[in-house]
Structure 1
Amino acid sequence: MIAHTQTLFGAVALVAVIMGSCLILVGQLRHRDGMLTTGLGMLSHSLAYIGFTLFGQVSMWFSYVLANTLLSTALAFYTVSLPLIHGRRPPWRLAFAFPLLLGVLLSVLIDTQEPRQLVACLLLFTQCLVILHLSRLHAVPGGRAHRILMIGAGISLFGLGIRVVVILSGAPAEMHYDVSNLKQTVSVALGAATIIMFSFGLVLLSRERIESELRQTALRDTLTGLPNRLAILEQLTDELERARRQHTPLSIAMLDLDHFKQINDSHGHLVGDAVLRHCTDHLQQRLRRNDSIGRYGGEEFLLILPGTDADGALELVDQLRQSLTQHAAQVDDKNIALSFSAGVYGSTSPVAEDITGMLLKADAALYRAKDAGRNTQVLATAD
């Protein structure tokens, strides 16, 4: 089916105006979440298509040079929206160098036909490749928005590819914006799909990023930055499942700072908070890459040691304890000596284990370490 090309351009422009206006209202003049720049991209897209509808009725400067420059500007706005959504610094200069270069080149080539069409297609093609790359780079783990953006960029690349093939085949006149044929119908329809995919993909990406941040906040201890009790238990569940599948040992350790209540009573809770952060930083720096530590509650921490048997876990915890005792916390010109007691439990046959049983055994060993005078570690018994 062949549609009237300029009517299609007008319809796409109307859709882009509506979508762009809504996104700008949502953005509320704040560009940090990418909604404002996405809306501006939609409006630039609509203005470009309005220019295309007037091809042959107004000067080439407006209907071709300015219109294609606005189209390139729309892609530039989409480009900067991707890092903005993630709160990162966008490549403003690189993104908007494309429409500036395109405007200059089209002004120089305005009296030609094939060269100006090829230049416009190739620069727009390059911008779509950049969006394709950034969509993959800024994907939210487990999200789907980046796939929509990549599909949108792929659709645009396909539409531009059609135009390039027709131009190189010696029929550039068939790609004039006032000509209606099947190739133009397909090309403009693909352009409309691109606008929808980009807008929907960027909005969904923003939502995925917010949900990811909320989840991270819900699973993080605000004082130490460590995984909280819920998060570290989720990690232990995952590690136990992995150990069962791979038939590898798994150990855990419950660590409890010695006499922490006395630190709070003697120096105040602010100093106590600083001591907890010092312990957190010290332990994290000395753990192996695959080990995990989380704040289990108060001054108590849960340590997960994948691929480590009981003896190896006991040795590692002993090294951590000795290291901490040798590095006092320095808070407000005060040196606060630190130590911890630990209960260690290791299993070489995780198939028979469960989370509750492992925690109870490590906790029982921790209490034996406290009863033994603290500043030591005790290996849990099998029963």
Structure 2
Amino acid sequence: MQVHDLTLMLSLWIASLAGATVLFVISKMTQTISGTRLWSLAMLLLSCAYLAQLSMQNLDVQWRVLTFNSFLILGHSAWLIGTWQFVQRTPSKRKIAALVLPVLLASWLTATVYPERELRITLIGVWLIAVRCHYAWVLYKHARQDKNEFLAAQITAGVVLLEVSFTVLYTLQGALGNLPQIGEAFNWVAGYTWVAALLGILAGAPILLLLSAGRFVKQLEFAANHDLLTGLLNRRGLARQLNELLPLSKRKCDSLTVMMIDLDHFKRVNDLYGHHSGDRAISCIAEVLKKQFRSADLLARWGGEEFCLVLFDMQPDMAVACANKLQLAFAQQSLTLELGDTPLTISVGIACSREISQQGFETTQNQADSALYDAKHAGRNCVKVASMSLSLLEEHP
């Protein structure tokens, strides 16, 4: 019956080594995704654990057990730490030490100084149950905000439940002294536990791969639709948002307002203080925009020092008041940039329309751009309303 245990160990070694290789490749492709490298390391450490069982059968049981348990503990620790990193909960060194060192020390003591197999199996079994349950819980809790990640987390929870169920049986049998050494005789509890562990790797590696790839795709989508410096939508992102929102807003909103905003004398800021100061000025106005406007409003960096705001259901007089408030807020915030005697101001062009459609937006944006042009020619640092929108403004004095 010895072949059954060793065959399972061989299968576990091949599966974990393959998982480590695939995750390592994806970690090279998605270097900005936290946790992927540690997941790859976890699979590699687990493969070392199973290889130790295969290659050390003729060595002293004490050293074989110590090697196997050490790699097993380190592998599952790396798996959990990688998951923490993936959900943006990077653990402190103290937390990592608390996770790994006590169980490693207990494994070493119960294998060498105080060789008590039943106690060793109990301690490591309880630790492993806690770690795997915590891994599934962390992933499940985080993934509820994303449909695809939530599906992966549900599958993970099911697989971990199966793993933990057999690990509980394995731990109980081990605590009672009913488990033979791996490779000596086949035991159905041990056998099914290793099958569950194999399923955990066969399902776990693709799930981790899909999570990493999915996160990478989301980052690419964000980069394609947002401005890197400010985090606001870019023109492509604004167009995409409008395509989604305009059909809905047409039924719920009465008006569409577009503001075009330009940072006055931006070239002079770059020439006098350098492009780094220019970037700080751009970031400054972006932060002011985020604070001053509603979460439902669309904010975009139109290009260079120009910004575009799309406001739904805002009356023209309110839009003018918001623009004036924005000018004051930016004037105060820009003082923190410490650009000497160079005052930073903005010019604003506003246009309003009753037509809530893609064509309506394009027409209104062109009118707002013309109003911005008028504001700049009127001496800058002022707000101008497009002539076509004045009639709407008169309706709401």
Q: What's the TM-score bracket when you normalise by the shorter of the two chains?
A: 0.7 to 0.9
Question: Identical aligned pairs, as a percentage?
Answer: 19
C-alpha separation in 2, matches of 1:49 and 1:85: 26
C-alpha separation in 2, matches of 1:261 and 1:97: 53
Number of positions where the alignment pairs a residue of Structure 1 with one of Structure 2: 376
CA contact (8 A) 2:353 2:364 kept: no
Q: Write out per-residue CA displacement over residues 258-304 of structure 1, whole angstroms, 9 at most, x where no aligned residue.
A: 75477479858836555434332333332234333111234432213
What does 1:209-288 correspond to in 2, within 5 Å? 209-244=215-250, 247-249=252-254, 251-257=256-262, 260=265, 263=268, 267=272, 270=275, 274-288=280-294
Residue 13 (structure 1) shift? 1.6
CA separation of 1:153/1:264 partners in 2, compared to 1, >3 Å: closer, same or farther? same
C-alpha separation in 1, matches of 2:26 and 2:146: 25
What does 1:1-383 correspond to in 2, within 5 Å? 4-20=4-20, 23=23, 34-52=35-53, 58-84=59-85, 89-95=90-96, 97-109=98-110, 111-112=115-116, 114-136=118-140, 139=143, 142=146, 144=148, 147-148=151-152, 151-152=155-156, 154-165=158-169, 168=172, 173-174=178-179, 177-178=182-183, 179-244=185-250, 247-249=252-254, 251-257=256-262, 260=265, 263=268, 267=272, 270=275, 274-306=280-312, 308-324=314-330, 332-345=339-352, 347=354, 353-368=356-371, 370-371=373-374, 373=378, 375-378=382-385, 380=389
CA separation of 1:49/1:269 partners in 2, compared to 1, >3 Å: closer, same or farther? closer
CA contact (8 A) 1:236 1:355 kept: yes
C-alpha separation in 2, matches of 1:316 and 1:338: 15
C-alpha separation in 2, matches of 1:105 and 1:241: 63
Give the TM-score normalised by the residue count of structure 1. Answer: 0.78
Residue 148 (structure 1) shift? 3.8
Residue 161 (structure 1) shift? 1.9
Residue 229 (structure 1) shift? 0.8
Which runs of 5 or more residues in structure 1 are unaligned? none
| One-letter code aligned to 1:252 | T
C-alpha separation in 1, matches of 2:248 and 2:166: 49
SS of equivalent residue, structure 1 residue 334: coil
Cα RMSD for the two superposed structures: 4.1
C-alpha separation in 1, matches of 2:123 and 2:255: 60
| One-letter code aligned to 2:245 | E
C-alpha separation in 1, matches of 2:11 and 2:242: 55
| One-letter code aligned to 2:342 | N
SS of equivalent residue, structure 2 residue 168: helix
Give the TM-score normalised by the residue count of structure 2. Answer: 0.75
CA separation of 1:326/1:22 partners in 2, compared to 1, >3 Å: closer, same or farther? closer
CA contact (8 A) 1:162 1:187 kept: yes
CA separation of 1:82/1:165 partners in 2, compared to 1, >3 Å: closer, same or farther? closer
C-alpha separation in 2, matches of 1:221 and 1:31: 20
C-alpha separation in 2, matches of 1:87 and 1:166: 33
Task: From the two aligned structures, give the one with the greater helix fraction.
Answer: 2
C-alpha separation in 2, matches of 1:250 and 1:235: 17
Q: Write out per-residue CA displacement over residues 186-211 of structure 1, whole angstroms, 9 at most, x where no aligned residue.
A: 32121112123333333333333333
Q: Write out per-residue CA displacement over residues 347-375 of structure 1, whole angstroms, 9 at most, x where no aligned residue.
A: 5xxxx621221331243255246547461
| One-letter code aligned to 2:106 | L
| One-letter code aligned to 2:367 | A
SS of equivalent residue, structure 1 residue 336: coil
C-alpha separation in 2, matches of 1:358 and 1:192: 56
CA separation of 1:83/1:334 partners in 2, compared to 1, >3 Å: closer, same or farther? farther
- What residue number does 2:395 align with? none
C-alpha separation in 2, matches of 1:25 and 1:55: 29
CA contact (8 A) 1:345 1:358 kept: no
C-alpha separation in 2, matches of 1:187 and 1:382: 77
Residue 224 (structure 1) shift? 3.8
CA separation of 1:92/1:238 partners in 2, compared to 1, >3 Å: closer, same or farther? farther
SS of equivalent residue, structure 1 residue 295: strand
CA contact (8 A) 2:260 2:350 kept: yes
SS of equivalent residue, structure 2 residue 345: coil
SS of equivalent residue, structure 1 residue 255: strand
| One-letter code aligned to 2:17 | V
Residue 67 (structure 1) shift? 1.7
CA separation of 1:194/1:357 partners in 2, compared to 1, >3 Å: closer, same or farther? same
